[in-house]
Structures are given as structure tokens and as C-alpha cells.
Structure 1
């Protein structure tokens, strides 16, 4: 499903740690990787006249070796331009199946890749984006990926039953392989929307949505009878409940839909998906709506 994928690196210790933990992507047919570093025009001009050119190449080679040791065929590329534009442009033009980003990384140009860059990629991407959180426990401590590197061992799928979520569920069905042992289906009743005028109907909503989750469970089991599928209807702040469920259920990856391409209206899995990315302790796979 994700045969060709881009790893967007800022060559930081955090992104180095991220490249050590992508072997699990092979469970989703990933084989060919483009390790991509995007330099701003100002940074590229400064690098051209300094010792950093050699340093960039050395750091890139180290990350390339990480990926090759995990069994991927790796091409490296350094491009100049706006990272959020170049990453998406290359992914679309060259027909990559997935973009992988790391959180908390800081580039040599002192830009956090999960700042304007990563959310710029998420907002505009026509391709699925996997965001991998990386932990740094102290100022001089080593960076390590959060959680398990076996992305598909236990997938948590969050849905609001919208067209956007239905599209993501279709992609989830394609993700199911022998490596996927368990899926937790989660729907959150939005406390803010319900509490003022609809709380007396909460149990009615819960019953209806449990039925809809049961339907999704039957669809999953139809093609994967041995899959463990658990469903959960929660009440609260959506992104908080999703992150709580991740921790309590021991999920190794979250899958959600996202509108993408700069869409700004407040859909549940538009703004909420970005809040989950900011707070999740495990990788989050965001599936955009098709053109």
C-alpha cells in the first residue's frame, strides 16, 4: 500500500531517531524511500559559503544507513525552497504513497519541522501523512521514538462517521495485514456540542453510534476473521478522549481522516486530527480526502 514513501528530514537528532524506527512500515508493503531535506533559500545561501555543506551530506548519509539497515532502498535528495510546498509537490508529482514526518525535530536553520512546516504539509497534502513523535527528555539527552515501532500491531481508528472518516476507513481496510493484530474503533460524543441542549438525548446517540461501530467491526471481520476488534463510544473533548484511549488501550498507531488541502472549516476530523497529532504519544496516520 505504501510502496514508495518520503521521509522528510531536518537532519536533527530527533529526525535521526525517527529514521531508526520505520521498519514497521514494511508491514504495509513499503520498500522504496526518498530521504528528503528541504533548505530555505536563506539557509541554502549560507550553507554554500560555509563548512555546513559537508556536514549536511554526512548527516544525510547517516540517516540513509539507518533506513538501509532496516531493509529499504533509499534515495537521498536535498532541495531548495519552501519545505511544506516542496514535500507535497514532490510527493504528488512523483507519485509517492506516503509522507513521513517526525515531531520535535529542529533543523540547522532552527526551524521546527513540526511547526509551520509539518502543519503546512498536513494542510496541503494529497497523500497520507504519518507523523512520528520523538521524545527528548533533557537538553543534552538523546532523542528516542515514543512507543513501539510496530505501527500496525494495534491500530486505533477514530471516526465521526463523516464522509471524511468513511474515506479513512476505506484506507484502513487496505492496511489490514497479518501484522495488524488488533483494531480499536473509537467515536467521541463531543461534550461541548452536546452539553448545552442535547444531553438528555445522550444515551440515544450512544446507542445509535454503538450500532454504527458494530457495522464497521463486521466489515473489518469479513476480510480478517481472526482480527481482534474492540469498539468504544466516549464522551468528552474529542482529541483528549482519543489520546486517553490510545494510552489505556495500548494502541501503537492512530488512523484518522483529515480534510487536507487548506480546508479551514471546523470539521471534527479537521481540527481534531491536528490536536491529536500535537498530543499523541504514538504515530498518527492522517488520510486526506481524495480530489
Structure 2
């Protein structure tokens, strides 16, 4: 499923904690890992650049050891220049199936990670992207962390969501034990003119959710919950994630790269920015 992955590293506690979560991907077939350190030498002077390079090499060495202990075949690389284009070029040319980034906001060199490199990668990628969150990066643990015991799949029944659901099915085949399929009746689209039809909408959409549930149950022994809520999609998803302590959200989004103008303000964007759970974004097949 995700046999070859790119992991975008930083020098931070959260980045090391991110690496501990990546072992979960072994159950999805991940074997090869390219560990990339991003660096723009134009941001610092020559003396600092040389010093940072030595730090980056040491960081890559430590994290590659952690990944090797998890069973991955690991290569490392420091890249500079146009980070977004370079990472996406490598992913495309060398047929990597997933890009993994961390949700750390501040690095040792002061960058706003989710405001810079991570979002640049999101906007340009045609590959699935896993954004790994850590709720408490300042208190690292020794153990690896499992992202797969419970997955939340928010769906609006769109073609993009259908593409993401195909990935959900593969994840279930590879050992995911619980999936919650979640649909939110968007208050902004229903209230006030269609509010009188809410019961009708719920009945129709419950039938759609049940069909998706039956598809998953036909694959293997998996626990599947279906859920409908009324409100703002972002608010309802975040609320449910926190109530149930769900570690991973899987969502469909725009194909052919995440278009910046569309991604900004979308539910996918809000999940990456605000949800406590990690987020796996699956690009659709938009033509």
C-alpha cells in the first residue's frame, strides 16, 4: 500500500516523536524510507550554514537508526533550494507512495514549520501526505506510538471522499481494527431554508453510511461505527476526535496537487491546522 515513504525531518523533539509513530506504517506495507532534512542556505551565513549541516547530519543519523530499528531500509538526504518542488519531484520520479511530515511549529532554526515547508509540500503534492501530530512533544517517550487502532473517516460522499475510502479499505485489509465513518450535515448549507428536511437528509445519508460500513465488514473482522452530526464540519470533527481520543483522521482532498486557494479554508486544511489527531490526506483523481 505505502511501500516507499519519504519522511521530512527537523531538528526538534516533535520530529523525533514523529519518527516513533512511523512504525505504524509497517503494517501498511512500508519498507523503504527516505529521510529528508530540508535546509535553505540563503537563510543563514556561511559559518552558520556549515555548523547547521553538521547538526542536520547528526540528526539524520539518530533518526535513521530509530527507523532501522523499526524494520525500515533507510536512506538519508539533505536538500536545499526550492523545497516543495524538490520533495515532490523526488516522490514522483522515484515512485514514493507517501510523504510524511511532522506538525511541529517551531524548529531549532526558528521556522514556522506548518506555516512554511509542510504547507508548501501540501500545495504541490500529487501523493498522499501524512501529517503526524504530537500532543506533548516536550515530554518525549521511549515507546513507539500506534496511529492505527482507530481511524476516523469524515465523508461528504464526494468523488474525493470515494478515493479516500478505497485507501480505508486497504488499511482495513492490512490490520486496522476500528473505523468510524462520519458525516456532518453542514449547518451553513441547511439552515434556515432546508432545515425542515434535516430528518429526510439524515435518513438518506444513514443509508449511504451503512453501505460503506457493509463494504468494510465484508473485507475482514473490523469494528465499524457510523455517525451523523449536524453543525460546522470542522467543529464537529475536532470535537469527536477529542471525545474519543482518535489518533488518525483519513480524508480525501483535491487531486493533482493540493491547490492552495482551494485548500486554504477547507475542512482538510482545518484538520491539519487544528485537530489533535494526525491527518492522512488522500488526493482525489481530479482531471
TM-score between both structures, scaled by the size of structure 2 = 0.91
1:122 aligns to what?
Answer: 122
Give the C-alpha shift of residue 192 in structure 1: 1.4
Give the C-alpha shift of residue 178 in structure 1: 5.1
- Confirm or deny: 8 A CA contact 2:150 2:177 kept in the other structure: yes
- Partners in 2 of 1:262 and 1:236 — Cα distance? 25
Q: How many residues align structurally?
A: 285
Change (3 A) 1:60 1:152: same
- Which secondary structure does the structure 1 equivalent of 2:95 belong to? coil
Change (3 A) 1:76 1:185: same
My pick for the range that moved more, 103-112 or 207-216, is 103-112
- The answer to whether the aligner puts 1:221 opposite 2:217 as a matched pair is yes
Give the C-alpha shift of residue 89 in structure 1: 1.6
- Confirm or deny: 8 A CA contact 1:104 1:135 kept in the other structure: no
Q: Please point out which of 152, 162, 170 is paired with 1:156.
A: 152
1:1-291 alignment runs, 5 A limit:
1-43=1-43, 46=46, 50-136=50-136, 141-143=138-140, 149-177=145-173, 179-224=175-220, 226-260=221-255, 261-263=257-259, 271-290=266-285
- Which secondary structure does the structure 2 equivalent of 1:15 belong to? helix
- Partners in 2 of 1:182 and 1:237 — Cα distance? 25
- Which secondary structure does the structure 2 equivalent of 1:183 belong to? strand
Give the C-alpha shift of residue 197 in structure 1: 1.3
1:150-197 Cα distance to aligned partner (Å, 9 max, x none): 222111111000111111111211111353111100000111111121
- Confirm or deny: 8 A CA contact 1:135 1:144 kept in the other structure: no
- Confirm or deny: 8 A CA contact 1:44 1:80 kept in the other structure: no
- Partners in 2 of 1:259 and 1:121 — Cα distance? 14
- Confirm or deny: 8 A CA contact 1:7 1:101 kept in the other structure: yes
Structure 1 residues without counterparts, runs of 5 or longer:
none
Give the C-alpha shift of residue 122 in structure 1: 1.5
- Confirm or deny: 8 A CA contact 1:39 1:82 kept in the other structure: no
- Partners in 1 of 2:64 and 2:209 — Cα distance? 41
Give the C-alpha shift of residue 223 in structure 1: 1.5
- Confirm or deny: 8 A CA contact 2:258 2:283 kept in the other structure: no
- Partners in 2 of 1:162 and 1:265 — Cα distance? 19
Q: Any runs of at least 4 consecutive aligned residues in structure 1 with deviations exceeding 6 A, and if so which?
A: none
TM-score between both structures, scaled by the size of structure 1 = 0.90
Give the C-alpha shift of residue 276 in structure 1: 1.0
- Which secondary structure does the structure 2 equivalent of 1:285 belong to? strand
- Which secondary structure does the structure 2 equivalent of 1:109 belong to? coil
- Partners in 1 of 2:262 and 2:193 — Cα distance? 20
- Confirm or deny: 8 A CA contact 1:157 1:254 kept in the other structure: yes
> Cα RMSD over matched residues?
2.4
- Partners in 2 of 1:53 and 1:246 — Cα distance? 39
Give the C-alpha shift of residue 262 in structure 1: 4.2
